[in-house]
């Protein structure tokens, strides 16, 4: 007998979001978890804070008029890690920790003896997930406690709960094979019984709908994805005892995978209509018996939805499916909680934005318009249109002088003289020894720095006092570097809260939020600035700090800037012009800054681009065009200076893969890169493509508090020397030192300098 009770009770819903944030509007969860780690609060208090946050979010959605609410999107750390736990797939090395919560945190962060799981970017967002490891010995067992208890909690609170779990395809595609195991996707069939079991248990609880997230379906991670999608969801939807299934695709167009899903018996498919195209969806055959969850409200950017155009998109889809639900394009995990927490917004800008709370209401308005007709929400549509009309006419979005200047930028402005020619002039000017030693920019962010910043914010000290204190920090860092014996010094970046926000706060066209926190990973949150208008640099941003630092020493001090791609990657970006246009505007501002630094006598300028690889599009077809404009923007930023001025760049990741050619094309005089954890392999990759400029492969890993001995550094340097030869090799750590403590930094750098000198003397 077929049991369809659970499914039969699952009427199509109309109003929802694919998921929500969990860190708390005031980062309550961050504080609770860190408090728990530090032993300041006990487990019951952590559980209480978590339950309060979940409840507040559900209540908000229900009050906004949502008739289906995502549940199990709460997490103590990360949803992929939660999925690894759900499937019983944590690596065996954590088995020795018997307490489940401690084991969970150990897998996320490591312990004194256990290496954590790796972390990497969640598709092309700035969220980072924990990478599950699948080894030959990994076995799978369903551990549904978390999802079942959150569902129970929600149902008891009267919430129309729709549990959300990550699907088997996405889980395996994002997992990493270890210990010689074959690709995790080969284990697909082993996971299906667990998902079937889970579906049964959810049905037992009386759940009407389950959402299974498969964002991997918008990528080209595997060419057989459409085929896998069809077979997996045929199996899962073939279960006799289960809730209705909604498969969620997001972060782009799911292409032929939609038709594959439509051929299965799942009851609903969620599509991203912000990044994906409505025509693709409308053309999918076989949606006639499905609920189509239409993601017309952008879940990952902060712009107010144009309700009229979203309504038009929805109208196009009427008739192509059995029913339509209005939703966000993705979880709102990626945007801040609410505009209500921002006091400094001017009324125009406020009218153009929607954070999570505002998006919840937009979804509800659109759903009402669909159900009751536009007339029922005429007021909302009118307010919306009025607010948005000020956007296209606001002069801050069209600064003619800037646009004229950009129009005049040609290839010659993105090109310097040949690198070897520049090198001769730079050597003459700088007179550096072979194997020059340097650091990446930041020095430990001491508590004195943080206190000063907080005191400035609360008005306890004035700007002059703040600057005096920062100068004190700079002086200390210069003295330290001279004592250690480094060749090229930095000012230490004490005045920068963040390498992007610092610039955004000074450039017109950006708005820096007061409370716009979003989770980056675990308990780490960032506050991405909002790029809303044309970018104008009204005055130099770094020159005073660098020249102050230079005044204290006869060694060269590097100017330190963030590149245009990284500034874009770590901001919320305009959606009314291509990214490349925004990149070029930022590039001009950075270019002007390099020229001012040069004029002030600074001979070396580093333009960091750690995010160059992050913005790489998900689809192969779009990658080349991206790399093209990204490289060009960097080159516009760095080609305004004379040959004798040495441009450095810094990229902190080691798997260059698809961007290796672009790194060479940046044509920086010196490129510092992460290499310590990958045994200098990147140098061979650079050689293989004929890169001839200087490189500074990181000789030790700054991500760990361990102090590397000088023999260890010497051996790294020897392999680097073998790969690039003595003319082109710089000596530096992997990345900036801001998260480390001064004693370990002093010791590590002293060993690094000793190793460099020993090798230099032996040349």
User: Which residues are annotated as catalytic?
Assistant: 703
362 is written with which tokens? 């937009």
Helix axis angle for 710-724 and 681-688, nearest 10°, is: 10
Contacts with ligand GLN by CB under 6 A: the residue count is 13
Q: From 90-98, 635-643, 653-661, 731-739, give the range in contact with ligand GLN by CB under 6 A.
A: 731-739
The reply to whether 745 sits near ligand GLN by the rule CB under 6 A is: no
User: Quick one: which of 335, 535, 652, 676 contacts Zn ion (CB under 5 A)?
Assistant: 652
Q: From 135-143, 153-161, 659-667, 735-743, give the range in contact with ligand GLN by CB under 6 A.
A: 735-743
CB of 593 to Zn ion, least distance (A): 20
Give SS3 for 477.
Answer: helix
| Whole-angstrom distance, CA of residue 693 vs CA of residue 132 | 37
Burial of 417 (0-12, 13-18, 19+ CB in 10 A): exposed
| Whole-angstrom distance, CA of residue 264 vs CA of residue 257 | 11
Q: Which of Zn ion, ligand GLN, none does residue 441 bind to, with CB < 5 to 8 Å depending on kind? A: ligand GLN
Query: Comparing C-alpha atoms, which of 558, 437, 448 is closest to residue 494?
Result: 448
The reply to whether 603 sits near ligand GLN by the rule CB under 6 A is: no
Going residue by residue from 607 to 646, which x/- string records binding to Zn ion, judged by CB under 5 A?
---x------------------------------------
CB of 616 to ligand GLN, least distance (A): 17
Residue 467 marked as a ligand binder: no
Going residue by residue from 539 to 568, which x/- string records binding to ligand GLN, judged by CB under 6 A?
---------------------x--------
Query: Where are the alpha helices (H) located in 164-300, listed in sequence order?
Result: 168-174, 188-204, 225-237, 256-262, 278-282
User: Quick one: which of 160, 564, 698, 736 contacts ligand GLN (CB under 6 A)?
Assistant: 736
Residue 461 marked as a ligand binder: no
628 is written with which tokens? 């093209």
Contact 700, 733 (CB under 8 A): yes
Query: Comparing C-alpha atoms, which of 179, 106, 96 is closest to residue 138?
Result: 179
HSE value, Cβ hemisphere, 13 Å, CA-based, for 502: 18
650 is written with which tokens? 């810094």
The reply to whether 652 sits near ligand GLN by the rule CB under 6 A is: yes
Please spell the DSSP secondary structure of 221-256, one letter per residue: S-TTHHHHHHHHHHHHHT-SS--EEEEE--SS--TH
Q: From 325-333, 341-349, 440-448, 500-508, give the range in contact with ligand GLN by CB under 6 A.
A: 440-448
User: Quick one: which of 33, 261, 440, 683 contacts ligand GLN (CB under 6 A)?
Assistant: 440
The reply to whether 738 sits near ligand GLN by the rule CB under 6 A is: yes
CB of 570 to ligand GLN, least distance (A): 10
Residue 570 marked as a ligand binder: yes
Q: Which of ligand GLN, Zn ion, none does residue 636 bind to, with CB < 5 to 8 Å depending on kind? A: none
Q: From 2-10, 56-64, 436-444, 681-689, give the range in contact with ligand GLN by CB under 6 A.
A: 436-444
522: left (phi over 0), alpha (psi -120 to 50) or beta: left
| Whole-angstrom distance, CA of residue 79 vs CA of residue 652 | 25
Contact 356, 20 (CB under 8 A): yes
Between residues 537 and 650, which has the closer beta carbon with respect to ligand GLN?
A: 650
Q: Which of ligand GLN, Zn ion, none does residue 520 bind to, with CB < 5 to 8 Å depending on kind? A: none
Q: Which of Zn ion, ligand GLN, none does residue 215 bind to, with CB < 5 to 8 Å depending on kind? A: none
Residues 156-215 that bind ligand GLN (CB under 6 A): none
Query: Comparing C-alpha atoms, which of 634, 651, 652, 551 is closest to residue 594?
Result: 634
The reply to whether 441 sits near ligand GLN by the rule CB under 6 A is: yes
Beta 507-511 vs 323-328: how paired, if at all? unpaired
Distances (CA, A) of 304 to 272, 284, 356, 667, 751: 16, 28, 10, 39, 53
User: Quick one: which of 242, 650, 728, 740 contacts ligand GLN (CB under 6 A)?
Assistant: 650
Between residues 338 and 439, which has the closer beta carbon with respect to Zn ion?
A: 439
Between residues 199 and 499, which has the closer beta carbon with respect to ligand GLN?
A: 499
| Whole-angstrom distance, CA of residue 492 vs CA of residue 142 | 49
CB of 652 to Zn ion, least distance (A): 3
Query: Where are the alpha helices (H) located in 347-462, listed in sequence order?
Result: 347-352, 356-372, 378-393, 400-407, 419-430, 447-458
The reply to whether 119 sits near ligand GLN by the rule CB under 6 A is: no
Residue 614 marked as a ligand binder: yes
The reply to whether 501 sits near ligand GLN by the rule CB under 6 A is: no
The reply to whether 608 sits near ligand GLN by the rule CB under 6 A is: yes
Residue 608 marked as a ligand binder: yes
User: Quick one: which of 21, 686, 735, 754 contacts Zn ion (CB under 5 A)?
Assistant: 735
| Whole-angstrom distance, CA of residue 718 vs CA of residue 727 | 14
The reply to whether 668 sits near Zn ion by the rule CB under 5 A is: no
Which residues bind to ligand GLN, rule: CB under 6 A? Answer: 440-442, 493, 499, 560, 608, 610, 650, 652, 735-736, 738
- Mark the binding-site residues, compressed into ranges: 27-30, 121, 126, 440-442, 493, 524-525, 570, 608, 614, 650, 652, 665, 674, 735
Which residues bind to Zn ion, rule: CB under 5 A? Answer: 610, 652, 735
């Amino acid at each position: 007998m077929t049991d369809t009770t659970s499914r039969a009770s699952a009427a199509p819903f109309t109003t929802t979001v694919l998921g929500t944030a969990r860190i708390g509007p005031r980062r309550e969860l961050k504080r609770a978890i860190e408090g728990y780690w530090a032993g300041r609060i006990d487990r019951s208090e952590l559980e209480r804070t978590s339950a309060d946050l979940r409840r507040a979010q559900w209540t908000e959605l229900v009050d906004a008029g949502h008739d289906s609410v995502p549940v199990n999107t709460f997490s103590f750390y990360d949803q992929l890690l939660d999925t690894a736990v759900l499937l019983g797939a944590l690596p065996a090395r954590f088995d020795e920790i018997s307490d489940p919560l401690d084991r969970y945190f150990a897998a996320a962060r490591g312990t004194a003896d256990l290496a954590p799981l790796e972390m990497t970017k969640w598709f092309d967002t700035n969220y980072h997930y924990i990478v599950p490891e699948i080894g030959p010995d990994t076995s799978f067992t369903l551990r549904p406690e978390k999802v079942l208890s959150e569902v129970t909690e929600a149902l008891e609170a009267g919430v129309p709960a729709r549990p959300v779990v990550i699907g088997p395809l996405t889980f395996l595609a994002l997992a990493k094979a270890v210990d010689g195991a074959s690709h995790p996707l080969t284990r697909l069939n082993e996971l299906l019984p667990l998902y079937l079991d889970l579906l049964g248990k959810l049905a037992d609880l009386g759940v009407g709908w389950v959402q299974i997230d498969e964002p991997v379906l918008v990528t080209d991670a595997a060419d057989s994805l459409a085929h896998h999608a069809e077979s997996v969801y045929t199996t899962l939807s073939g279960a006799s005892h289960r809730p209705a299934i909604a498969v969620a695709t997001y972060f782009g167009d799911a292409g032929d995978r939609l038709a594959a899903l439509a051929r299965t018996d799942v009851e609903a498919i969620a599509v991203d209509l912000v990044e994906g195209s409505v025509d693709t969806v409308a053309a999918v055959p076989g949606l006639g018996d499905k609920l189509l969850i239409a993601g017309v409200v952008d879940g990952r950017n902060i712009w107010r939805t144009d309700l009229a155009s979203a309504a038009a998109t929805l109208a196009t889809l009427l008739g192509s499916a059995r029913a339509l639900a209005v939703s966000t394009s993705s979880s709102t995990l990626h945007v801040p909680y609410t505009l209500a927490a921002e006091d400094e917004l001017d009324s125009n800008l406020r009218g153009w934005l929607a954070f999570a709370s505002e998006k919840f209401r937009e979804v509800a308005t659109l759903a009402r318009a669909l159900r009751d007709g536009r007339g029922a929400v005429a007021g909302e549509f009118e307010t919306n249109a009025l607010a948005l009309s000020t956007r296209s006419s606001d002069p801050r979005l069209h600064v003619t002088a800037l646009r004229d200047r950009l129009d005049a930028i040609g290839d010659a402005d993105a090109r310097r003289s040949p690198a070897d020619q520049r090198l001769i002039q730079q050597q003459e000017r700088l007179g550096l020894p072979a194997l020059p030693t340097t650091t990446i920019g930041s020095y430990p962010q001491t508590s004195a720095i943080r206190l000063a910043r907080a005191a400035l914010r609360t008005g306890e000290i004035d700007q002059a006092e703040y600057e005096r204190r920062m100068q004190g920090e700079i002086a200390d860092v210069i003295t330290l570097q001279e004592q250690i014996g480094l060749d090229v010094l930095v000012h230490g970046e004490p005045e920068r809260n963040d390498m992007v926000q610092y610039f955004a706060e000074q450039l017109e066209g950006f708005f820096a939020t007061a409370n716009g926190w979003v989770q980056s990973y675990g308990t780490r949150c960032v506050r991405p600035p909002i790029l809303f208008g044309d970018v104008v640099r009204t005055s130099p941003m770094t020159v005073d700090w660098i020249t102050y630092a230079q005044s204290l020493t006869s060694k060269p001090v590097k100017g330190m800037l963030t590149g245009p791609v990284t500034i874009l990657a770590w901001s919320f970006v305009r959606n009314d012009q291509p990214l490349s246009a925004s990149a070029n505007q930022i590039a001009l501002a950075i270019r002007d800054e390099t020229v001012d630094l040069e004029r002030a006598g600074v001979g070396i300028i580093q333009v960091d681009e750690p995010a160059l690889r992050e913005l790489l599009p998900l689809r192969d077809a779009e990658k080349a065009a991206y790399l093209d404009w990204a490289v060009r923007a960097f080159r516009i930023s760095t080609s305004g200076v004379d040959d004798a001025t040495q441009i450095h760049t810094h990229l902190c990741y080691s798997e260059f893969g698809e961007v290796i050619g672009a790194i060479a094309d940046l044509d920086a005089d010196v490129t510092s890169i992460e290499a310590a954890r990958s045994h200098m392999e990147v140098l061979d990759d650079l050689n293989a493509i004929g890169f001839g400029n200087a490189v500074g492969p990181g000789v030790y890993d700054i991500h760990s508090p361990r102090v590397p001995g000088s023999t260890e550094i010497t051996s790294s340097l020897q392999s680097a020397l073998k790969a690039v030869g003595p003319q082109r090799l710089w000596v530096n750590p992997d990345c900036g030192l801001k998260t480390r403590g001064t004693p370990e930094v002093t010791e590590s750098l002293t060993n690094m300098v000793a190793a460099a000198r020993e090798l230099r003397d032996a040349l």
